[in-house]
A and B are shown apart, each in its own frame.
Chain A
Amino acid sequence: MAGIWPGDIQTVITLGFDIDGVSSWLGMNPDFANRPGLLSMAEYGPKRGVPRILKLLDGYDIKATFYIPGYVAENYEDMVKDIVKRGHEVGHHGYMHEALGNMPIDQETEILERGMEILERITGTKTLGYRAPFFDCSLDTIRLLAEHGFTYDTSMHDSDVPYVHDVKGKKLVEVPVKWVLDDYGYFAFIPQAGRRSAMQDPQAVYETYAAEFDGAYKEGNVMTMTLHPQASGRPARLTSVERLIRYAKSHPNVEFWRGIDIAEYWMSR
């Protein structure tokens, strides 16, 4: 049976990095501005995690997508430009990492446009990909994205292959995600915010990623990773990503694409 990918490609992996920095915490609770300990844990992401991740990606010649809240992009303009210069994609991830579920549509629209303006000003190109903060869209999000000229969303959990949202004739590709392939649940430990995950062994997390890869490879699916520099950018945790890369590359016909590459291919089918 012919698969869903061009040529002999069996599966496509897309590494997505959400560079939330402090935005997810300040967006959740402005009082966290007074908690330097918590903020320092988050700042580690753009400050130390991203450079380490960029070096890793260069070493394996992988192009990835970085979903960046507008607030973080404003504070790390040089980082954003460096990401683009290395051939990676920059995607939209809110302004202050706002959860959109139940948000009034005017406010959602304002946040969407504000993030678009900031990313376009810094990167010099229009942003085509969107990942909802916390994956928490509203019922209007898909329509708003289509109306604002996005090519794809990557927030939905109901598929293992890309699909198309048809919004009154405008098409928006969905590159589906899953919590299994999000590093945050394994590693998040932020006592100031009441978050105490199981602090999983990177080996155990790698085993989960690898088992998920086995399924994607067998079935010819997409494998969408959601990684956070403040979590996976730490040396111990980054081993789970590097081992996944090596494991995937030990199989024939596996490719690493940016989110936009998947979306444009899917649109062209």
Chain B
Amino acid sequence: MAGLWKDGVQCVVNIGFDVDGVSSWLGRDGDFANRPVATTMAEYGPKVGLPRILALLDEYNIKGSFFVPGHTAENHPDIIPDLLDRGHEIAHHGYVHERPAALDEGEERRALETGLEILERQSGARVPGYRSPSWDISPRTLDLLVEYGFTYDSSLMDDDAPYVHDVNGSRLAELPVQWHLDDFPFWGYAPVAGVRGPLSSPEAVTHTWISEFDTLYREGRCYILTLHPQVSGHPSRLSSLEHTIQHIISYPNVAFMRCDEIAQYWLEQGYS
């Protein structure tokens, strides 16, 4: 069987980052604005973690996808221009990291529109990609994404290669994600919010991530990693990303692609 990818590529890899900053905590509970234990932990992401991550990606010449809540972009207006300069993709991740499933239609539209406006103003272009905060979309989210002109969603977990949603005759690509290819379940730790991950060792997490890659590579699928600068930006955790990258690039015929490139390829192939 011919593979899914062109030019002899065996497996496509995307490294994506949700640059949540404080937005994911304020989206849970506005009171966290008064709790430096929450805000300083979160601000470590855009302030300390992100520059460290960007240096690593540059070192390996990898272009990634950055899902930036409008709130983070407003508070850190230097981030998006810097990401674009380095060739990375900017995509939508809510305004204050609102979970769409918890919103009514008016609220969901406002979060989508506000995020779109901010990202378009700062990046100079309409962003084609969307990853829902907390991967918790509502029953209407896919319809709204098509209505607002998005090319892809990256929030669902029912496959390990892209597929296409038929939304009233329009095509929206899905780039599926997995909790075990996300850093937060391993390392998310914020007692003030009742979040107490297992705090796995970097070696254990690397082992999970490269084990997943080995099978997806053999099967010729798509490997999408979702990381958070406030989590993986700490040196110990970033070593897991670096070791995973080193493992991946030791294989032939691997292509690192941005999510927008994967979605465009998938739609152009006419795949379902």
Contact = CB atoms under 8 A, between A and B. Distances in A.
Whether chain B is bound by chain A comes out as: yes
B204 A138 contact: no
Contact of A139 (B34, B203, B237): B34
Nearest to A153: B36
B134 interface: no
A200 interface: yes
B202 interface: yes
Interface stretch (A81-89, A204-212, A255-263): A204-212
B43 interface: yes
Question: How many of chain B's residues touch chain A, expressed as a range?
Answer: 20 to 34
B234 A180 contact: yes
Contact of A185 (B48, B189, B192): B189
Contacts of B35: 101-102, 136-137
Given A185-B189, A186-B199, A136 B37 contact: yes
Is chain B's binding surface mostly helix, strand, loop or mixed? helix
Contacts of A134: 37, 191-192
Interface in A19-69: none
B239 interface: yes
Given A136-B192, A204-B201, A208-B201, A158 B48 contact: yes
A219 B190 CA distance: 26
B151 to A, nearest CB: 35
Nearest to A132: B37
Contact of A215 (B34, B43, B199, B238): B238
A211 B235 contact: yes
Question: How many of chain A's residues touch chain B, expressed as a range?
Answer: 35 or more
Interface in A179-238: 179-180, 185-186, 195, 197-198, 200-201, 204-205, 207-209, 211-212, 214-216, 218-219
Interface string B36-47: 110111011001
Given A136-B192, A160-B48, A214 B235 contact: yes
A208 B236 contact: yes
Given A211-B239, A216-B235, A157 B196 contact: no
A215 B239 CA distance: 9
Given A157-B41, A211-B235, 11 more contacts: A134-B192, A158-B40, A158-B43, A158-B44, A159-B48, A198-B199, A200-B198, A207-B201, A212-B234, A212-B236, A215-B236
